[in-house]
């Protein structure tokens, strides 16, 4: 099964703990995040004008959550409920909005910069860096 068969019309991000997880073990995020898709920490233009992109990453974002239980559930889905970082397999959009499967390193949100609390959890960002496309 290819990555293009794993999504529908709406956001369909999936994740599993560990690298090279089986496609069947990828689970949908609940609730689904929003994201700009695959991005790069640095893009350099070579002598011929061709871009050379380095440091692929993706930010999965949630604007506002109902309660702390939902926030803890999201952390658990990524394996960050008891760890600052975790190796993951991720189904996500690339820089042309097509879904692919990646290995990466998920980083727990840092309170105050990647997550805040104003009556409820809001502005949550989970960074997944060091992405390598595997499917």
What span, in angstroms and rounded, lies between the C-alpha atoms of 42 and 13?
A: 24
Domain count, the chain: 1
Structural domain range at position 15? 3-133
The pair of structure tokens assigned to 113 is 């910069």
Output the CA–CA distances (angstroms, integers) from residue 76 to 14, 63, 70, 128, in the order listed: 13, 18, 10, 15
Range of weakest confidence among 30-34, 54-58, 118-122, 128-132: 118-122
Give the per-residue pLDDT at 106.
Answer: 98
Q: Quickly tell me which residue has 């999504």 as its tokens.
A: 7
Q: By CB neighbour count within 10 A (0-12 exposed, 13-18 middle, 19+ buried), where does 15 fall?
A: buried
Output the CA–CA distances (angstroms, integers) from residue 64 to 59, 85, 130, in the order listed: 15, 22, 27
pLDDT at 119 over 90: no
Highest mean pLDDT among 36-40, 67-71, 118-122, 127-131: 127-131
**DSSP secondary structure code for residue 115 in this structure:** B
The string of pLDDT tens digits covering residues 23-79 is 999 999 999 999 999 999 999 999 999 999 999 999 999 999 999 999 999 999 999
The string of pLDDT tens digits covering residues 5-21 is 444 447 899 999 999 99
Question: What backbone torsions phi and psi does residue 5 show, to the nearest 5 degrees?
Answer: -90, 0
């Amino acid at each position: 099964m290819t990555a293009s068969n794993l999504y529908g019309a709406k956001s369909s991000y999936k994740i599993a703990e560990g690298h090279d997880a089986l496609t069947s073990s990828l689970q949908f995020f609940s609730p689904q995040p929003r994201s700009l898709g695959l991005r790069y920490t640095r893009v350099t233009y070579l002598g011929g004008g061709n871009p050379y992109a380095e440091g692929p990453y993706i930010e999965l974002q949630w604007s506002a959550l109902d309660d702390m239980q939902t926030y803890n559930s999201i952390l658990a889905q990524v394996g960050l409920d008891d760890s600052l970082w975790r190796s993951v397999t991720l189904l996500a959009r690339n820089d042309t909005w097509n879904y692919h499967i990646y290995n990466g390193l998920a980083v727990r949100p840092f309170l105050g910069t990647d997550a805040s609390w104003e009556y409820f959890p809001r502005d949550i960002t989970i960074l997944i860096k060091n992405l390598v496309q595997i499917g």
